[in-house]
Amino acid sequence: MSQTGSIFVLSAPSGAGKSTLAKRLVAEMPGLIFSTSFTTRAPRPGEQHGREYFFVDNTAFDQMVAEDGLLEWVQVYANRYGTGKAWLREQVAQGLDVLLDIETVGAMNVKAALPEAVMIFLLPPSAEVLAKRLRGRGDTDESQIMLRMAHARHEVEQYSHYDHLVVNDDLEVAYRTLESVVVAERSRKSRMESAAQRILQTFNS
Ligand code: ADP
Ligand code: 5GP
């Protein structure tokens, strides 16, 4: 019987390096996949239905909410985002570990619904470095940066609700730390029980 997978929740203020690290983690760790959320926002150029998101209209989203089909959902400005219960259940039932890249409000709701979810918060080394990274990325104007920095403060205040805090100062160190969290989780007794039983059986005379 295959073991069920684990759920990892990764949150960070915008610009902390979450996409950089999460993409590498999923690319380099077999058996770890990204959660594909449902959203009512329009796809950006290059985004594909079922890859970045399941893009749905408001009626379909309303229906999922009414049917209690979402583990959590939030409204960000005009758009809604949510994690599908059935989708997530299918992945973990296959033994896959799933990484949820979601903001802090949704993350807290996941923790409330699934206390076993592994909560990871990525911190920038300082506000100054965060602002520099936002500017360096070159995708926002100065007023946007001020808005993001104000929002970042609120996000960083949530750190105490997470199980693991990873500071993204040196990228390689941050990556190795994140990777270790996943590796350590996989060695939990609950995940290793059937393997241990198989090993035990080899001792039968
Ligand atoms: P997020 O997904 O959290 O918004 P990104 O992954 O887009 O953040 O990273 C923001 C910017 O900071 C990008 O230009 C990225 O290359 C850069 N960056 C990420 N981590 C580091 C790091 N440890 N040191 C220096 N620059 C970094
Ligand atoms: P974007 O529109 O840039 O793809 O995402 C905007 C924000 O929504 C990001 O902070 C992202 O982490 C968050 N997000 C994406 N999917 C979900 C989800 O299913 N639930 C929650 N709570 N947040 C999400």
Give the span between the Cα atoms of 155 and 149, in whole angstroms.
10
The rounded Å distance from CA 93 to ligand 2 centre is 24
Number of Cβ within 10 Å of residue 171's Cβ equals: 12
**What superfamily does domain 7-35+96-204 belong to in CATH?**
P-loop containing nucleotide triphosphate hydrolases (3.40.50.300)
Alpha-carbon Rg for the chain in angstroms: 19
Give the span between the Cα atoms of 188 and 200, in whole angstroms.
17
Query: Which residue of 18, 20, 149, 173 sits with most ligand 1 atoms within 8 Å of its CB, as the best mutation to test the pocket?
Result: 20
| pLDDT value of position 47 | 94
Give 80's contacts (C-beta < 8 A, 6+ positions apart). Answer: 39, 40, 58, 61, 73, 74
End-to-end CA distance of the chain: 24
Token couple for 182: 């996943």
Number of Cβ within 10 Å of residue 175's Cβ equals: 18
Token couple for 140: 């926002």
Q: Atom 18 of ligand 1 has which residue's CA nearest to it?
A: 17
Ligand of minimum distance to the alpha carbon of 151 = 2
Residue keyed to tokens 């996409």: 19
Give the span between the Cα atoms of 15 and 138, in whole angstroms.
11
pLDDT digits (tens, 9 = 90+) for 89-135: 999 999 999 999 999 999 999 999 999 999 999 999 999 999 999 99
| pLDDT value of position 139 | 64
Write out the H or E segment, with its range, that includes residue 59.
helix 58-66
Q: Where are the domains of the chain?
A: 7-35+96-204
Using DSSP's 3-state secondary structure scheme, residue 21 falls into: helix
Query: Which residue of 37, 70, 77 sits with most ligand 2 atoms within 8 Å of its CB, as the best mutation to test the pocket?
Result: 37
pLDDT digits (tens, 9 = 90+) for 152-179: 999 999 999 999 999 999 999 999 999 9
Residue keyed to tokens 């199980």: 163
Indicate if ligand 2 lies below 6 Å from the C-beta of 106: yes
| pLDDT value of position 63 | 98
Token couple for 184: 């350590």
| pLDDT value of position 64 | 98
Instruction: State mean pLDDT over 49-53.
Output: 94
Query: Which residue of 48, 64, 81 sits with most ligand 2 atoms within 8 Å of its CB, as the best mutation to test the pocket?
Result: 81
Per-residue burial over 17-48, b if 16 or more Cβ lie within 10 Å, else e, is bbeebbeebbeebeebebbbbbbbeeeeeeee
Indicate if ligand 2 lies below 6 Å from the C-beta of 102: yes
Indicate if ligand 1 lies below 6 Å from the C-beta of 18: yes
Q: Which of 199, 72, 175, 78 is nearest to 120 (CA)?
A: 175
| pLDDT value of position 205 | 66
Residues above pLDDT 90, as percent of the chain? 89
Number of Cβ within 10 Å of residue 164's Cβ equals: 17
